[in-house]
């Protein structure tokens, strides 16, 4: 069974063809990073326009790489949220058009759930119950999966998410966009114990995340110490951020009897986070390869196929939901 998937939630236009929800035949991504770098962040209107330009060529290339034709497809999966409204609508309208023209079933996918299902593409389904730590852009979530179709959200972002904090600290340090990878590279040359930044640890059993205080502490430190070594600031900020992520994930894994810990989203590619989780987690930690951590359509295909096999079907009046919370 071949799934054609489309992802356009932010600044990557992606299309993929995936067999049986797990075997990637193609996964084409057109990045807008260079376009938005000059503005220090994603400009929603420009992102939507670039999606319109890229979606046709990306779709054709995905079919070509998969050695597939339109007539070979069995299912269309598409990101419906969360994300930028205009960007989401480009992908959603395209997916509806394909589904209508070819008479194919349509499944709308939660972008954050897609990040979790990236694991189905590299090693197969996890051992359940599985704890998922999703660290993607403006979202930081902890969720417990009893199965591929049962998810309980344990905690989300109370203010700034981890990815937002990395981007904002990158700007404070004068680093190019996106901040996550550039902060990580700079931190490798710094002393992670030079500065003690605060960590937000709520009451036991509270799995919400808060990184606004950490971001503010970095801003205040730079204002008071303009001669601070940037690499040390980056290293100490990163240490504080990953310790919060790893500690809460490890505590939740133990508290809920998880048998595996799935790390998902762009920040999952951070090596310091991977090390901190490996040191603290009471269960095996799974991290997808880099190309499946960042936004891509193959993960949307995996999540869409799982939903379809569980009985989900969406109508052609399906709408985008920019504020969609994590759910399957």
Question: Would you write out the chain's pLDDT as a tens digit for each of its 328 residues?
Answer: 999 999 999 999 999 999 999 999 999 999 999 999 999 899 999 999 999 999 999 999 999 999 999 999 999 999 999 999 999 999 999 999 999 999 999 999 999 999 999 999 998 999 999 999 999 989 999 999 999 999 999 999 999 999 999 999 999 999 998 999 999 999 999 999 999 999 987 677 899 999 999 999 999 999 999 999 999 999 999 999 999 999 999 999 999 999 999 999 999 999 999 999 999 999 999 999 999 999 999 999 999 999 999 999 999 999 999 999 999 9
Provide the token pair at 320: 């985008």
Give the Cβ contact number of residue 23 at 10 Å.
12
What's the pLDDT at 248? Answer: 95
Strands in 23-31's sheet, in edge-to-edge order, are 23-31, 12-19, 2-7, 75-81, 106-110
What's the pLDDT at 322? Answer: 98
Q: What is the rounded CA–CA span in Å between residue 285 and residue 105?
A: 34
Q: What is the rounded CA–CA span in Å between residue 147 and residue 36?
A: 38
What's the pLDDT at 273? Answer: 97
What's the pLDDT at 304? Answer: 98
Percentages helix, strand, coil for the chain, rounded to the nearest 5? 45, 20, 35
Pairing of strands 130-136, 260-264: parallel
Q: 93 Cβ partners below 8 Å, 6+ apart? A: none
In the chain the domains, ranked by start, together with CATH numbers, are 2-116+292-309 (3.30.420.40), 128-287 (3.30.420.40)
String of b and e for 32-65 (b: at least 16 CB within 10 Å)? beeebeeeeebbbebbbbbbbebbeebbeebbeb
Give residue 129's region: left, alpha or beta (phi > 0; psi -120 to 50).
beta
Distance of alpha carbon 173 from the chain centroid: 24
Please measure the distance between the N-terminal and C-terminal CA atoms of the chain and give it in whole angstroms: 21
String of b and e for 200-213 (b: at least 16 CB within 10 Å)? beeeeeebbbbbbb
Among 107, 88, 149, which Cα is nearest to 323's?
88
Q: Is 49 helix (H, G, I), strand (E, B) or coil?
A: helix
Cα angle, residue 15 at apex, residues 11 and 21 outer, rounded to 5° = 125
C-beta of residue 328 within 8 angstroms of C-beta of residue 135: no
What's the pLDDT at 202? Answer: 62
């Amino acid at each position: 069974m071949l799934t054609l998937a489309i992802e356009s939630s932010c600044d990557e236009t992606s299309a993929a063809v995936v067999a049986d929800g797990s075997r990637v035949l193609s996964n084409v991504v057109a990045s807008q990073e260079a376009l938005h770098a000059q503005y220090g962040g994603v400009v929603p209107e420009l992102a939507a326009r670039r999606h319109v330009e890229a979606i046709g060529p990306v779709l054709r290339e995905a079919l070509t790489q998969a050695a597939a034709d339109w007539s070979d497809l069995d299912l269309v999966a598409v990101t419906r949220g969360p994300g930028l409204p205009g960007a989401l609508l480009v992908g959603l309208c395209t997916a509806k058009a394909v589904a209508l023209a070819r008479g194919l079933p349509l499944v709308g996918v939660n972008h954050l759930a897609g990040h979790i299902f990236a694991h189905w593409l590299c090693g197969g389904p996890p051992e359940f119950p599985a704890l998922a730590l999703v660290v993607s852009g403006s979202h930081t979530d902890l969720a417990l999966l009893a199965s591929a179709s049962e998810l309980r959200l344990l905690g989300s972002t109370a203010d700034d998410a981890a990815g937002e904090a990395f981007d904002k600290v990158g700007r404070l340090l004068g680093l190019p966009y996106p901040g996550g990878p550039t902060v990580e590279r700079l931190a490798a040359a710094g002393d992670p114990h030079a500065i003690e930044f605060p960590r937000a640890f709520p009451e036991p059993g509270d799995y919400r995340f808060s990184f606004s205080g950490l971001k503010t502490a970095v801003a205040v430190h730079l204002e008071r110490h303009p001669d601070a070594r940037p690499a040390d600031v980056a290293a100490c900020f990163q240490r504080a951020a990953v310790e919060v992520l790893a500690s809460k994930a490890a505590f939740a894994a133990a508290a809920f009897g998880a048998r595996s810990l799935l790390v998902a989203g762009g920040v999952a590619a951070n090596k310091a986070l991977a090390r901190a989780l490996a040191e603290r987690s009471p269960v095996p930690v799974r991290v997808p390869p880099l190309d499946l951590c960042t936004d891509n359509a193959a993960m949307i295909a995996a999540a869409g196929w799982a939903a379809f096999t569980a009985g989900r079907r969406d109508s052609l009046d399906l709408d985008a939901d920019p504020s969609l919370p994590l759910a399957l």
